[in-house]
Amino acid sequence: MFVCTLLTDPAAPSLDPALVDSLRNAWGGGDVQWLAPDEAAAFSLTSIPDNRWDVWADVQDLGVDLVILPLARRRKAMLLADMDSTMIQQECIDELADVAGVGARVKDITARAMNGELDFEAAIRERVGLLKDLPETVIGEVLATRISYMPGGATLLATMKAHGAYAALVSGGFTAFTASVADALGFDENRANTLLADGGVLTGEVGTPILGQQAKVDALNEITDRLGLAASDVLAVGDGANDLGMLQRAGMGVALHAKPSVAAQCDVRINFGDLTALLYLQGYARSEFVSV
């Protein structure tokens, strides 16, 4: 058995009941369960329809996300999340670079690296090199004035943790940021790269080994082994090429507002919903959300 979930942007909910009923009837689905009025609905299926991606493309034009997942083990026991452009709305290194006066150059490298066009390690070394001699105090300033959280993130964490889930933040960014974000949102642990400094200024170097795509897969494997979980128990979420490994390894890998080359390689794509979409995909109704 499978479950089809349809959802929209919660800031402007526009899910038409007629669309949901029409699709359920065309695919011979079970009874519709409204997870949130005008925002999210789901129905069961006995098989994945052959025209799944054609329909997906059609409803995308309507501002609707459509996801089909196995019904079994729908609720996950672990959340493994990327940070930049996933749990927060910015790329931290781009913000640091903007303060350093090299924002445009670094932003271009970041975009190409996240789209899989550049080697991740080489790209991070090049970008960090451009931050040389930036005062360490800028990190705190950026955190305080330039970083905003992705909508729905706190609710996602609070709800999953209230149901016993473990949450890990694993980023190709930097520990100076992940420590703050993890604490604010309630992650149980965080892993990231380290910006090296000397005498209160950045050296332009990053600590090794560099946490890239494989390190995120390793984190998934290590944490699940430690907790006695399977990869199928994990919900992973990210947006960049360095997230693909963990997205494909996890039981539910969600490409959230992802780069085109990344989304194309993932079956679970959220382009309109916020992070609460990850709760709807697990079958949580809005009435079950833990408010924060």
Domain residue limits, the chain:
1-72, 75-90+148-292
Residue from 237, 246, 238, 248 nearest 281 by CA: 237
Q: What is the pLDDT of residue 119?
A: 84
**Separation of alpha carbons 260 and 241, rounded Å:** 10
11 and 39 Cβ atoms separated by less than 8 Å: no
Catalytic residue among 82, 94, 239, 274: 82
Q: What is the pLDDT of residue 100?
A: 86
For residue 254, count other CB atoms closer than 10 A to its CB: 26
Share of the chain above pLDDT 70, in %: 100
pLDDT confidence tier of residue 292, bands split at 50, 70 and 90: confident
Which pLDDT tens digit goes with each residue over 168-204? 999 999 999 999 999 999 999 999 999 999 999 999 9
Which pLDDT tens digit goes with each residue over 135-146? 999 999 999 999
pLDDT confidence tier of residue 113, bands split at 50, 70 and 90: confident
Between the CA of residue 250 and those of 15, 31, 50, 216, 243, what are the distances in Å? 28, 28, 24, 11, 11
Catalytic residue among 9, 31, 38, 84: 84
pLDDT confidence tier of residue 163, bands split at 50, 70 and 90: very high
Give me 170's structure tokens.
Answer: 């694993």
* Mean pLDDT (the chain, rounded): 95
What are residue 2's DSSP bridge partners? 45, 70
Which pLDDT tens digit goes with each residue over 203-229? 999 999 888 889 999 999 999 999 999
pLDDT confidence tier of residue 261, bands split at 50, 70 and 90: confident
Can 84 be counted among the known catalytic residues?
A: yes
**Separation of alpha carbons 24 and 275, rounded Å:** 25
**Separation of alpha carbons 4 and 26, rounded Å:** 13
**Separation of alpha carbons 100 and 198, rounded Å:** 17
**103 has a pLDDT exceeding 90:** no
Which pLDDT tens digit goes with each residue over 51-62? 999 999 999 999
Can 21 be counted among the known catalytic residues?
A: no
Query: Residue 217: enclosing H or E segment and its boundaries?
Result: helix 213-227
Q: Which residue do the tokens 């689905």 mark?
A: 29
**Separation of alpha carbons 205 and 139, rounded Å:** 15
Name 143's Cβ contacts closer than 8 Å, sequence gap at least 6: 176, 177, 180
CATH number of 1-72: 3.30.70
Look at domain 75-90+148-292 and name its CATH class.
alpha beta
In the predicted model, what is the mean pLDDT of residues 100-126?
A: 87
